[in-house]
Amino acid sequence: IWPGFLIGTEKFNDNLSILIFKNVTATCAKQFMYALQSFSQLPNQIPETWVLHLFDAWGKLPSGILSGHNFETGDFFECIQMQGKYKSTPESTEDVRGKYCVTYLAPGPKLTQLFNVKGNVTLPKDLHSTDSMKGSVSLSLLIQYIQEKTSPSFAPLFGTCFPDSCTSEDAQQILTSVHTHVLGNYTTQTVATCYMEEKPPLHLRDYAMLSILCLISVLCLAGTLTDVLGQRETVSKFDRFSSILRAFSISTNTRKLMNTKGRLNLSGTKWI
């Protein structure tokens, strides 16, 4: 896919960009097209650091595909930790972060036709064996393995990186357009899932649990203070409310847990 993405500026014309970024959200299209154009200026002009991180985090074509090495995840953390600025207008800039997407590469109709691949391939029993893979797999046979629905997943996995303004649908649309209009339908690429460096939203049950934990913490703190101060002031020692708070005293409960008097077989159970 790299020859298709990293095309020269003389080939990256307006007509091609319209085809690639058709049905892609405006912000995603602008930021990713800027990254492509900046990267294609190498080596005459060095692009911004976030642009380099964006493409450096992509998984590249691995060695040993014919012997079963078909996973190239790229750099997950380089992608999601990417930060940069995109100048959308002369007066304003936008923050750009990375979005890591897991994709699967599969043969397209042109590649299938080129190798005259037919369905219903018979898979060897020792397919998971490394020696079996090295000894039996040719490129045409590997394409058959990938297309076989009942076989283990042989589709090459590639990690990709997009600006965070791109949705999963945007990433899928860009990849589909590149494979169709640039790479000539020799391959296809499917987005499985995408990840970003963001905090998960808190739900009602999360707030309820946090409230319960905070209440228990306050009771433990109040009980410990009441217990310590009650030892000095005998006036409040028999106060009913103070007695309830002392039940949550950390110091008293710790002493009771540490006490080994009584049945020895209960000492470990008390700590559990």
Rg (CA), the chain: 31
* 259-267 mean pLDDT: 65
108 or 24, greater pLDDT:
24
Name the percent of the chain lying above pLDDT 90: 28
The pLDDT confidence band at residue 75, using thresholds 50, 70 and 90, is very high
Assigned domain for 269 exists: no
pLDDT of residue 264: 62
In degrees, to the nearest 5, what angle opens at C-alpha 80 toward C-alphas 4 and 41? Answer: 35
Q: Which of 58-62, 110-114, 213-217: highest mean pLDDT?
A: 213-217
Q: Which domain holds residue 97?
A: 2-196
101 or 241, greater pLDDT:
101
* 58-79 mean pLDDT: 82
pLDDT digit string, tens, across residues 84-95: 998 878 788 889
* 75-100 mean pLDDT: 90
Residue 17 and residue 147 in one domain = yes
Residue 177 and residue 214 in one domain = no
Lookup result for tokens 């985090």? 57
Assigned domain for 79 exists: yes
Residue 163 and residue 217 in one domain = no
Residue 124 and residue 231 in one domain = no
Q: What is the DSSP letter of 238?
A: T
Rounded to whole angstroms, the Cα distance separating 25 from 27 reads: 6
The answer, yes or no, to whether residue 258 has pLDDT greater than 70, is yes
Residue 71 and residue 176 in one domain = yes
Assigned domain for 271 exists: no
Residue 67 and residue 113 in one domain = yes
Indicate the number of domains in the chain.
2
* 185-202 mean pLDDT: 86
pLDDT digit string, tens, across residues 194-214: 999 877 788 899 899 999 999
Residue 81 and residue 175 in one domain = yes
Assigned domain for 270 exists: no
Assigned domain for 246 exists: yes
Where a domain ends, among 196, 213, 246? 196
pLDDT of residue 124: 53
The pLDDT confidence band at residue 8, using thresholds 50, 70 and 90, is very low
Where a domain ends, among 170, 196, 222? 196
Q: What is the pTM of this model?
A: 0.66
The answer, yes or no, to whether residue 241 has pLDDT greater than 60, is yes
pLDDT of residue 218: 92
Assigned domain for 266 exists: no
3-state secondary structure of 209: helix
Residue 166 and residue 216 in one domain = no
In degrees, to the nearest 5, what angle opens at C-alpha 143 toward C-alphas 137 and 148? Answer: 100
Residue 46 and residue 6 in one domain = yes
Residue 212 Cα to chain centre, angstroms: 32
* 76-99 mean pLDDT: 89
